[in-house]
Amino acid sequence: MEIKPALTALGALAQETRLLIFRMLVQAGPEGLSVGRIAEQLDTEPNGRLSFHLKELVRAGLVTATQSGRFIFYSANYPVMNDLLAYLTEQCCAGEPCGAEVHGCTNSETPS
């Protein structure tokens, strides 16, 4: 992944509702969720504001939309999510495997 798509994806996730939606879709699996189900889980109305957030996630490539009859189902785009994670963790831990002791700490600890 290049820096511009990474910035677009991170920008899309840098908003509370969109982050909640994305995490919800990741948990839902490849079949995804309908707009109505997303709204229900967020305890909100399936209105223009929700559509705006979903559109931003689609624009960033993190989510795909699939029409099924009169319903639209949204699902996480796992390859893009994994590319973003790989980009963020590329060369982490000073080139050592994650969790290895580096500079007196592991990736689950903060340096002293």
Q: Indicate the domain borders of the chain.
A: 3-95
- Contact predicate 75/31, CB 8 Å: yes
The token pair at 104 is 């007196």
Closest CA to 85 of 8, 10, 4: 10
What's domain 3-95's architecture? Orthogonal Bundle (1.10)
Rounded to an integer, the average pLDDT of 34-57 is 93
pLDDT band with cut points at 50, 70 and 90 for residue 53:
very high
Reported pTM:
0.81
pLDDT tens-digit series, residues 56-94: 999 999 999 999 999 999 999 999 999 999 999 887 877
